[in-house]
Amino acid sequence: MTKRGDADSGRVRGEPVPRRGISVRSIVDDSLLGVAIAVAAGEAGLDRQVRATRIQKSGLALAGHFHGIDPGRIQILGVTETSYLTGLSRPACETALRRFFERDLCCVVVTESGEVMGEPGVFAQTIKRCADEAETPLLLCPERSSRTIISIHALLDERLAPRARIHGVLVDVFEVGMLIHGKSGTGKSEVALELIMRGHRLVADDVVECHVRPPEMVFGEPADLLRHHLEVRGLGILNIKDLFGVTAIRDRKRIDVVVQLVEADADEEYDRLGLEQRRFEVLGTGIPELTIPVRPGRDMASILEIAARNELLKASGHHPAREFFGRLEGALLGTESDTPLSTPPPPGVVGGRVAPPPESSVGLPRGASALAWDTIDSEDES
Amino acid sequence: MSDVVRGRFTIVNEKGMHARAASALARLASKYPCEISLSGPEEAGVNAKSVMGVLLLCGAKGTVIDVEARGDDAQNAVDAIGELIADRFGEEA
């Protein structure tokens, strides 16, 4: 229900939110749901909460084996289940359904409902009555179970994703989702504006709604009210879509890197080598983090653009800093080697998966070897 | 340093926390070194120092706003925000 985030802080962000739920009513009404679902009975229970992103095929529960049935999960009665129930005698069918509905289920969906619910048979009557008595919504979907389940899963993944709110600006720079983070007044919005002027795209200013897609994707989007807007001190609130057009905005982006803007401090040690791999935690998911000191006259937008290019390189299996130091190591040890990439993993890796280091340049795209300054392969140049 | 000061205030002016009021609040909050977050009935944990964040609260008249300040001068910050809200953001009579 409540979204939790934090203000401008350098602490661990986005405490895990208590397991939220969404009401059955909101699922039925959701425009994102790709299949048509109708409520057939049990309307009184439409405010029951679905708390899990995965459905359950009720299966053996109908035969009285209730182990593992989770009332917070949507129960699906597919052809297997309905054929079993319609094959039972009237009392047996009633008993099975009554005991099933006694479990306080959030809702029950009958798939391929056209045939089995269309004719007013024992099954159709009984299940409706049981649903009404238990005040459990009974939903009908004409589609096959497989399709229904995919649609429901997609919707629940979206709506039940753990959320947090982060104070910062999210921009899409060369398709790299870059979250600019830092204290008020460090010039986050100004840098974002400069990036937009260079053709990059604004996702969210100031308030970034984050949701996590396990195992390690974090998406950011703007709060509805603030969509397409950017606040710049001295100018006020700007509508980026009106000023720059649709190519300057984007509604959602995966966050690939977090850039911390900090006031330049002579005592502070910054990463001078590019070997550090720090992580910014959002709801337990680590995102690579860079800390960049801000000084007057420093062209932050260019630095961030380069940071994005560097991220793209890393994503394609290149780690420029590690490759450089690999070569340096090779030179120091006096070994002749094109690919002395035996650098140990960088310190400071906290949890999470780190992009696999390029073990070797074999298999890298053409042109990659041009970066190797100590090898000139004339055949490769042609 | 990590003292947390909380305050709860009700929006009393007719127009509620409109744009000008929000900017007055954000400007006031920015004067203090501490971190200040605001929570309303619908939105929690927005940064008081940003106009966008404060606008997000959509504080109409009668809305109860929770202020939480952490860090240096937190008490003064919360008091000042309380005063500004009670003072109808210095606008209406």
Q: What is the pLDDT of residues B42-55, one digit of tens each?
A: 777 888 888 888 88
Q: Tell me the residues of A at the B interface, defined by beta carbons under 8 Å apart.
A: 2-9, 165, 167, 184-185, 205-207, 223, 225-226, 229, 231, 237
8 Å CB contact of B58 and A225: yes
Which residue, chain included where needed, has tokens 């800390």? A291
Q: A6 to chain B nearest CA, in Å?
A: 5
- Chain A contact for B43, CB < 8 A? yes
According to DSSP H, which parts of chain A are helical?
Answer: 24-29, 79-86, 90-101, 113-118, 122-134, 145-160, 188-197, 240-244, 300-315, 320-333, 378-381
pLDDT of A376 higher than 80: no
Q: B9 to chain A nearest CA, in Å?
A: 19
Rounded Cα–Cα distance for residues A299 and A297 (Å)? 6
| pLDDT computed for residue A336 by the predictor | 54
What is chain B's alpha carbon radius of gyration, rounded to the nearest angstrom? 12
Classify domain A163-315 at the CATH class level.
alpha beta
pLDDT greater at residue A47 or residue A8:
A47
| pLDDT computed for residue A353 by the predictor | 42
pLDDT greater at residue A216 or residue A290:
A290
CA angle B11, B16, B20 (to 5 degrees): 115
CA of B39: which chain A residue's CA is closest? A4
- What is the average per-residue pLDDT within A275-292? 86
| pLDDT computed for residue A380 by the predictor | 41
| Fold observed for domain A22-160 | 3.40.1390
| pLDDT computed for residue B13 by the predictor | 86
Q: If we measure between CA atoms, which residue out of B93, B89, B67, B62 comes closest to residue B78?
A: B67
- What is the average per-residue pLDDT within A83-98? 88
pLDDT of A319 higher than 90: no
**pLDDT band at A364, cuts 50/70/90?**
very low
pLDDT greater at residue A267 or residue A48:
A48
| pLDDT computed for residue B2 by the predictor | 59
Pairing, β A207-213 against β A217-222: antiparallel
Rounded Cα–Cα distance for residues A16 and A284 (Å)? 8
8 Å CB contact of A7 and B35: yes
- Chain A contact for B51, CB < 8 A? yes
Backbone phi, psi, residue A351, to 5° = 55, 180
Rounded Cα–Cα distance for residues A357 and A41 (Å)? 56
Element (H, E) at A109: strand A108-111
pLDDT of A253 higher than 90: yes
| pLDDT computed for residue A344 by the predictor | 47
| pLDDT computed for residue A121 by the predictor | 79
| pLDDT computed for residue A234 by the predictor | 85
Catalytic residues of A: 167, 188, 206, 272
8 Å CB contact of A207 and B58: no
Lowest mean pLDDT among A13-17, A113-117, A226-230: A13-17
**pLDDT band at A181, cuts 50/70/90?**
very high
Look up the pTM and report it: 0.69
Q: B81 to chain A nearest CA, in Å?
A: 16
Q: If we measure between CA atoms, which residue out of A323, A172, A351 comes closest to residue A248?
A: A172
**pLDDT band at A219, cuts 50/70/90?**
very high
Under 8 Å CB-to-CB from A211, ≥6 apart: which residues?
Answer: A161, A162, A163, A164, A218, A219
Between chain A and chain B, the number of residue pairs with CB atoms below 8 A apart is 62
- Sorted by where each begins, the domain ranges of chain A are 22-160, 163-315, 320-381
Q: What is the pLDDT of residues A49-79, one digit of tens each?
A: 888 888 998 888 888 888 888 888 999 999 8
pLDDT of A275 higher than 80: no
The ipTM assigned to this model is: 0.75
**pLDDT band at A355, cuts 50/70/90?**
very low
pLDDT of A97 higher than 50: yes
| pLDDT computed for residue A378 by the predictor | 41
Average pLDDT over chain A, rounded to an integer? 80
Lowest mean pLDDT among A30-34, A161-165, A343-347: A343-347
pLDDT of A256 higher than 80: yes
* Chain A environment of B70 (Cβ under 8 Å): 9
**pLDDT band at A178, cuts 50/70/90?**
very high
CATH architecture of B4-90: 2-Layer Sandwich (3.30)
Rounded Cα–Cα distance for residues A28 and A24 (Å)? 6
| pLDDT computed for residue A362 by the predictor | 40
Lowest mean pLDDT among A158-162, A176-180, B36-40: A158-162
